[in-house]
Structure 1
Amino acid sequence: MSDAPKTDDQQAGDQQAGDQQTEDPKTGDRKADLDRLNAWPGLSDLPGDGPVTALDPLTGGAQNLLFTLRRADGVELVLRRPGRHLRSGASDAFRRESRVLAALADTDVPHPRLRASVLDEEVLGAPFSVLEKIDGFTPRGKLPGAYAEDAAWRRAVAFALVDGAAKLAAVDPARHGIADLGRPEGWLERQTPKYLKLLHGYRDDPAYREGESPEVDRIADWLTAHTPKGGATGIVHGDLQFANVMFAHDAPKLAAIVDWEMASLGDPLLDLAWILTAWREKGDPPGSEPQFQPWDGVPGRAELVAHYGESTGRDVSGFRWYQVLACFRLAALLEGSYARALAGRMNRRMGEGLHAYAGWLWAKARQEMDRD
């Protein structure tokens, strides 16, 4: 399982900007955590039997640390906790995710089942959650097995991913006890100024200004002028991308959507647009390759948007605005990492790579704006 940022919009830049967790969980720390977990009364409520015998680090976490938690009888779960240097507000992220996962428990949205959520720091010195371990893989790089060999699998799983977003859009927040998860009123109108403010803030650094895209204000003006009137309200995952989903090994299906710390209430069409920022097809601006290979057989954006509309009953005729917004919002967050790299607060080479990807997103947004 991969990891996600701590809150809806306030800390969204951390994950999307690509800041990678560089902490190496030390053996001594893990031994101490084992002792604490085995003294924790909540252990008896978890699946499995016997003490925790191992905490093995998992790759993929960005802001949080991930471990396979193994009990004496062999049952495996996933433990998630913030880094060893606890950041202010870390429990807020876990509280948000825990509420959403609990709310999704009796829905058909693919997700890891929440087994425990500890929001104080008494047990491990930090909040943590224990989740079901998903039998699946994150689709990045070279695909395995039949996914690589059979284009029909790639086509099927693309529709399955969009179906996952559609199932989430169908969940009634009020019925599932999370009507207060966010502020849906004026949500669409708030998006552009919120991320434009981030982008303008980066201009305080003269080095950043030298490489800033000239498209920033033009795209923001277009988004403001074309903001839809109204829109649906539902649960928005907020970071629905290949890094935050898992595909099943044995069939072309979506095994789980993970990393729910950015979930909020808003217009679910943004989740679909967010997925499709990672799509690549003929006619796209040059300079960006698909995030997994092989890519042939994957349906195009228009077919997937139409499928989402049929699945949800949603009018998708105005989807172009959401696609431009997704490009704008993601580029703003990537540029945050670039700004931090220029300031020496993250790897410079990584920051430059994310800046280049932001450049592709600006180009894609402009292409969508100009398409009539």
Structure 2
Amino acid sequence: SETETIPEMNKLMEWLPENVPQEESNSIVHGDYRLDNTVLHPTEPKVVAVLDWELSTLGHPLGDFTYSLMQWVMPGQGTGGGTGSIKTADLKSLGIPTLEEYIQMYCERTNRSGIENLDFYFSYNFFRLAGILQGIAGRVRDGTASSEHAKQMAANVRPLAEEAWVYARRAGAK
């Protein structure tokens, strides 16, 4: 689906597989776990259903969890396709925990002391989103995109790839 050469994507395709954290854990993973794929209880702060399971598989649970963190670190306001952001929102007034608080709650519930390699996971998830949106860009190019927002979403490929490389460098990429 490549519609343009994005140097960061090429660097990430080389760096990411060589730097996957060696953590032994396996579970059912959703594959697209984010707030807009959940149904929230109308009066209590809890998820009552998780939708959109077609990408589910077996894998490391941090893949799903760190993907759900993307809305805290996503630049700008996004145009859909998983690119929505709460980065500049007044989280306290909305009753949304900070990124750090959310991670702490997850760690408490899963008996983890913390999440090592968070920058790797953010790099991977930005890369993953860029790849998904590159597929949409390919459908726009081919005239087969079904979403009216496809062209807008496709415009996010390069910025997401660049952000992925920022996190990769923070995780040790050269």
Could you state the TM-score of these two structures normalised by the residue count of structure 2?
0.78
Residue 305 of structure 1: which of 74, 92, 103 is its match?
Answer: 103
Contact 1:340 1:346 in 2 (8 A): yes
Change (3 A) 1:218 1:287: farther
Per the alignment, residue 342 of structure 1 pairs with 141
Query: 1:295 aligned to 79, 85, 89, which one?
Result: 89
How has the CA–CA distance of structure 1 residues 301 and 359 changed in structure 2, closer, same or farther, with 3 Å as cutoff? farther
Instruction: Indicate if the aligned counterparts of 1:341 and 1:348 stay in contact, CA closer than 8 A.
Output: no
- 1:254 pairs, out of 34, 47, 53, with 47
Tell me the residue number matched to 1:217.
10
Where do 5+ consecutive residues of structure 2 fail to align? none
| Higher normalized strand content (fraction of residues) | 1
In structure 1, how many angstroms separate the alpha carbons of the residues matched to 2:101 and 2:15? 25
After superposition, what is the alpha-carbon deviation per residue over 1:165-209, rounded to whole angstroms, capped at 9, x for unaligned? xxxxxxxxxxxxxxxxxxxxxxxxxxxxxxxxxxxxx23xxxx12
For 1:161-180, list aligned pairs within 5 A.
Answer: none
- Structure 1 segments of 4+ aligned residues over 4 angstroms from their partners: 284-287, 289-292
Change (3 A) 1:348 1:267: closer
The secondary structure found in structure 2 opposite 1:251 is coil
- Write 1 or 2 for the structure with the bigger share of helix: 2
Structure 1 residue 363 corresponds to structure 2 residue 162: yes
* 3-state SS of 2:52 partner: coil
Pairing 1:270–2:69 present: no
Measured in 2, the distance between the counterparts of 1:302 and 1:223 equals: 24
Deviations 1:294-322 (A, max 9, x none): 93123333332233222212351123222
Shift of the alpha carbon at 1:334? 1.4
CA distance in 2 between partners of 1:263 and 1:332 (Å):
18
Superposition map of 1:1-372 within 5 A? 202-203=1-2, 208-209=3-4, 212-280=5-73, 285-286=75-76, 288=78, 290=84, 295-297=89-91, 298-314=96-112, 315-347=114-146, 350-371=149-170
Say if 2:136 and 2:153, in contact at 8 Å, map to a contact too: yes
Once the two structures are TM-superposed, the CA of residue 287 in structure 1 deviates from its matched residue by 6.4
Q: Counterpart of 1:215 in 2: which secondary structure?
A: helix
Q: How many residues align?
A: 161
Give unmatched runs, 5+ long, in structure 1: 1-201
Report which structure shows greater RCO (CA 8 Å, sep ≥6): 2
Q: Deviations over 1:122-164 (max 9, x none)?
A: xxxxxxxxxxxxxxxxxxxxxxxxxxxxxxxxxxxxxxxxxxx
CA distance in 2, matches of 1:347, 1:258: 21
- Larger Rg over CA atoms: 1
The 2-side partners of 1:250 and 1:286 are apart by 29
